[in-house]
Structure 1
Amino acid sequence: MIIASVRVNQTLTVSEFSLTPAGGTAALKAILLTSATDPNKMLSSNVVALIPDAPLAAKTTYTAKLVGTNNGQPINKTWSFTTQ
């Protein structure tokens, strides 16, 4: 699960949240959870979660991309991480 958040009392809206393996061109199939779509109502409006449909591969670098708004201001963030 990849989680992104902004400060408490701010609202994070998402137009794109994707996860792509290094060297890949297609994003992994995943479920996006927001405060509006979380069936357990655990997420607040400042948090989003991306849950891949399958386990991530070991020792693999992935790139996450988040596009949306934080309190109405545009955000476009990209970061990478490597699994153990």
Structure 2
Amino acid sequence: MLVLSRKKGESIVINGNIELVVVSVEGDQVRLGIKAPKDVDIFRKEVFLSIQQSNQEASESAMFPDDLIKIFRNPEKN
């Protein structure tokens, strides 16, 4: 992990097209502004992890072609 010190109004640039700006610092809370292309998804980590978990659960409960074949061959068993 790279650790940098920045003051209010200072920024860092990631990959040449994403700018992270320190908007304010109040106590132990830091407000960040993010300038990025519209096609770049930006999520708070807890939201990102929740999305990943939901996607994982959906993929585990999704029916696969073999399941569908069984259903259509023996519909009375389902």
TM-score (norm 2): 0.25
Greater fraction of residues in helix = 2
Larger radius of gyration: 2
TM-score by length of 1: 0.24
Higher strand share: 1
